[in-house]
A and B are shown apart, each in its own frame.
Chain A
Amino acid sequence: MITRALLHLRHVGNDLSRDKGVNLALAAVLVLSAFLMATGAMVMERVVGSVDQLFEEARPPHFLQMHSGDYDPGALESFAERHPDVEAWLIEDMLGYDGAALSWSRASDGESGDFSDSLIDNLFVTQNDGFDLLLDGTGAAPRPSPGEVYVPVAYQQAYDLRAGDELTVETDAGSRGFRIEGFVRDAQMGSSLNASTRVLVSEEDFRELGRAGGGAPEIIAEFRLADPSAAADFQRTYEADDALPKNGQAVTFDMIRLINAVGDGLPAVALVFASLVLIAIAVLSVRFVIHGTLEGEVREIGAMKAVGIPDRSIMGLYLTKYGVMASAACVVGGALAVVATGLLTRGVEANFSQAPPGAATVLVPVAALAAVFVFVMAVCRGVLGRVARMQVVNALVHGSLLDERREARRARRRARRLRPSALGSRRGRAVNRRLALLDLRAERGRWILLPVVFSLAAVLMVLPMNLLSTFASPGFGAYLGVPDSGVRADVRFADDVEAVHADVVEGMRGDDRLTDVRSFGNVLMEAEDADGPVNLRVDVGDHRRAAVEYLEGGRPESGEIALSLLNAERFGVSVGDELVVDGGDGAAPLTVSGVYQDVSSAGYTAKMQGEPPSGADAYVVFADMAGEEAPGDVAAEYEERFPSASVIPMREYIQQTMSYATDALRGAAVLSAVFGLGVALLITSLFLRLVLSRDRGKTGLLSAIGLSSGEIVGQVWLKVLVAAAAGTAIGVVFAATAGESLAGALVASAGLGIGELTFIPDPLIAYAAYPIALMGAALLGTLILTAPLRRADKSSWLGQ
């Protein structure tokens, strides 16, 4: 037994050292596959683990309702008392500040700045009791002393802040400075997907800030339930009670979880996708190499069979090699994954909590690696099955893997494919092209590897790139339910929202640099679904000129309403259906004019035609640029003129809103491009190494009859070029068509409010630079592998 194992290992050693190039390339692809699979699995486990851990420590609410303005605390109290499901509840008072009102100063280098470039609302709060805690790095719930502040870890990372730095708040009564005492993780608002973030101060300072003015007071009514799965029903009951505060957004526990997991789990999904593509490539390559090995060693295998060595032992000899390679790849890939996961989850662990390593931490990546190993070995075993079907005499005498009948059938098939005059009237160099294409056609079973690998590599590169360019494109406004215009002004955190809004609109309408100024008021209404009335946020304004793309139908006219996809699904209505909406002056049926995609406000929005009403909770003003003026300059000017309004270029708004996705995708797109190109180069080299070695006799013959090395190499180049170009074209077309549907389905299933995704590609990168780079990789591989052809003694190719 031991002797046989030693014999197998010696065979493996000899085999590996005999053809180092091929084995190294194969090992590299296997290591990459294992590495990506393990990293994807580990990152997923860490993200889920960290989110779970933070949820356990911070205990976020199962249902929360935001509200600004007056409310009746007694109504909340009696509601909570009436519902035995409520385990605990609280009202959190908050003071909202625009980013421009907050500035920081670093003690280490004296640098300072503000948060005006961030769209995130900064909500100043005090530490809660019992649940929804803001936690510091140690997992404790800090209670700052007067003059101290704890800021979110996201700010710590973005602005490189440290404890001891200073945070200044602009109030109506002047500046108020705080010493940054530490950083807090937030289970409820910690995700990069969230539009708000919480800043922790002492009770005394909170009261002082309230008195000083400048902050917009808001509250969150938060509830912990005995049965968290009943949160949706609880929300319905809450919204049905007219006495309760509810003019802000309502959020359930599941949504908080989803937002946390999607924002930081996206890179893991991208990694797993990349690893699946790489595993497909690795398996195809392994298959090709085994076929090549069996063909090359057919006589040796025949001899082993002739002396009575059982098929199983012969297969075992070869299987050991791939077993050793695959297990080594899994070990190396797994080890690299540990390092990579550490780097990739640094942000996740800072944002959430570092989950203590448990059984799943080890088992999940090990199971992923085991799956890779088992799959690769199953494919190897399948291909090596040919050993059992091989006939000894045919193998020894004719060097054929096939039996006589199959060999004869193959000869007949080949003869049938021959044309009476394949060369036709071609002469000179045209003969070379003809020979190359004939060879490609005849050997398509072997050459198919290149187009398949290149198409997979193209998908690997183009798909994440297209997703990235779509999310980063200004045209993505269509998915945000907003028009694609020059600048956008949000009026929300102001003492007198109405007046500021009127001033902004007046200023913009009188500005020659701006045109087409549209204003929308965000109004809270109620709509009837199957179980009764629920809250509905509606943007009321002139939608006639807004370039919003509708999935179905079109913009609303008077007496109509357009709904976001998630709202249409929630109310179970489609275009032409009626929806009963109560805007405060009695319920009235409205016809659904259109359904659009929206990722803002958690995807639940609606649009109605009309004048922006007074008394809206918030206003948004859009304006197009009249000339060549930079939107950034105009926005900055308005931002200064109207400090309580947030004015930014549309492009920047989209960029910031989608930054959670674009940041994650940018890394994935760069990684995918590097892996795609690397794999294309590796596989081209591996493939040519085997093919050129197998075709030595043919190469020798062409040389003997008078073809120069340049012409022979030229034929190889042409074949590689045709195969790689065909594969790349197929891959790019697939990524742009079926890939779009696949990515769309993935995004739709994430429940973000996008039901149908249309790529907005960057054609220069996705359809020009990437294919050219792939062809470059193919040609580089060919250049390296064909170089020896120019140097060798031609006779050495004959007789082998």
Chain B
Amino acid sequence: MTQAVTQAPTAALECRDLAKTYYSTDPPTEVVGGIDLDVRQGEFLAVMGASGSGKSTLLYNLSGMDRPTGGRVLLEGRDLTSLDDREMSRVRLTRVGLVFQQAYFLRTLNVRDNILLPALKAASGKRQAAEAAARVDALMERFGIAHVGRHGITQVSGGQLQRASICRALVCEPSVLFADEPTGALNSSMTKEVMDALTDVHSGGATIVMVTHDPACAARADRVVFLRDGRIVDSREFGTWSGEEAGRREDDLITWLRKLGF
């Protein structure tokens, strides 16, 4: 078994000289090249950039879904790049939550069982399983989907499904929630539902890393980083979100993005 390098947790998430090159193409394609990034405890970070800039690749390498071809990723001070497959999957199960653009669910389970699944996987005893079930019910109540718990996944709306995704991502109380274009497949009212839910999660103290194309969604973040050709070219602090200054933050963000050629 590989030994994880443990350091004092100065940030929730760090990466140093992170690189990802795909060798299946000829010539090999470097999608992310030498990124250094720190995500503070409780920070809501948005990652923006044009299509193909490497946003999603960065997110999947930070979250432990994929393995970088260079550099290191430290989650709560633990070097993910040194973990084997089982240790990495344990990290994804207990320390990382993921929300995707498409709401991926198992058709064989109803909405509640889908949310409960990771918690039961992580539970080691009956008491923990019961606690997980209670946590699922509380989360579903909090995000307004308790009434569709027994529904099949084809019987609920896209917004409800994405909120169920957020519930599932939070059920094991992860240290960082990663969201890849969580509103990319939703209409405007469903987008608001989902972003309100994520803002709510963040206001509860969660650390969030979100990839998005949508400035209105990115405006909810404390900080936005901008990627071009696999490298961070600029970043901007916006401070804590409050609904009242939404319009101003969005205008500021758009102006900044225009300067970056977005």
- Residues on A close to B: CB < 8 A? 411, 414-415, 418-423, 425-428, 431, 435, 438-439, 441-442, 697-698, 700-701, 703-711, 790, 793-796, 798-799
Contact = CB atoms under 8 A, between A and B. Distances in A.
B123 interface: yes
Given A418-B110, A698-B106, A700-B104, A423 B89 contact: no
B51 interface: no
Contacts of A423: 109, 113, 116-117, 120
B237 interface: no
B149 to A, nearest CB: 9
A435 B117 CA distance: 10
Consensus secondary structure, chain A interface: helix
A711 B89 contact: yes
Interface string B113-127: 100111011111110
Contacts of A438: 108-109
Nearest to A441: B108
A709 B89 contact: yes
B100 interface: yes
B197 interface: no
B155 interface: yes
**Which 9 A/B pairs are nearest by Cβ-Cβ distance?**
A706-B93, A415-B152, A708-B89, A795-B60, A701-B104, A411-B154, A438-B108, A793-B66, A706-B92
A414 B65 contact: no
A799 B110 CA distance: 21
Interface in B127-163: 128-129, 150-152, 154-155
A472 B229 CA distance: 75
A414 B120 contact: no
Could you say which of B56, B150, B152 has the most chain A C-beta atoms within 10 Å of its C-beta? B152
Most A C-beta atoms less than 10 A away, residue of B56, B91, B92, B151:
B92
A438 B106 CA distance: 10
Contacts of B120: 423, 426-428, 431
Given A435-B108, A799-B102, A710 B155 contact: no
A427 B123 contact: yes
Contacts of B125: 427
B86 interface: yes
A701 B150 CA distance: 20
B154 A707 contact: no
B106 A706 contact: no
Contacts of A420: 110, 150
A241 B1 CA distance: 96
Say what secondary structure dominates the interface of chain B. Answer: helix
Contacts of B57: 795
Given A415-B155, A427-B126, A439-B106, 12 more contacts: A411-B154, A431-B117, A435-B117, A697-B104, A698-B104, A705-B93, A705-B168, A706-B93, A706-B94, A706-B118, A710-B86, A794-B60
Contacts of B154: 411, 414-415
Given A414-B154, A705-B121, A425 B129 contact: yes
B106 A704 contact: no
Contacts of B129: 425, 427
Contacts of B128: 427
B107 interface: yes
B244 interface: no
Contacts of A426: 120
A178 B226 CA distance: 103
B89 A703 contact: yes
A420 B111 CA distance: 10
Given A428-B124, A435-B106, A706-B121, A798 B152 contact: no
B85 interface: yes
Contacts of B86: 708, 710
A706 B56 contact: no
Contacts of B100: 704, 798-799
Nearest to A413: B152
B67 A422 contact: no
B94 A704 contact: no
A794 B107 contact: no
A796 B66 CA distance: 9
A711 B57 CA distance: 24
B241 interface: no
Nearest to A793: B66
Contacts of A411: 152, 154-155
A790 B88 CA distance: 13
Nearest to A416: B152
Contact of B65 (A421, A439, A704): A704
A698 B117 CA distance: 14
Contact of A795 (B56, B106, B117): B56
Contacts of A795: 56-57, 60, 65-66
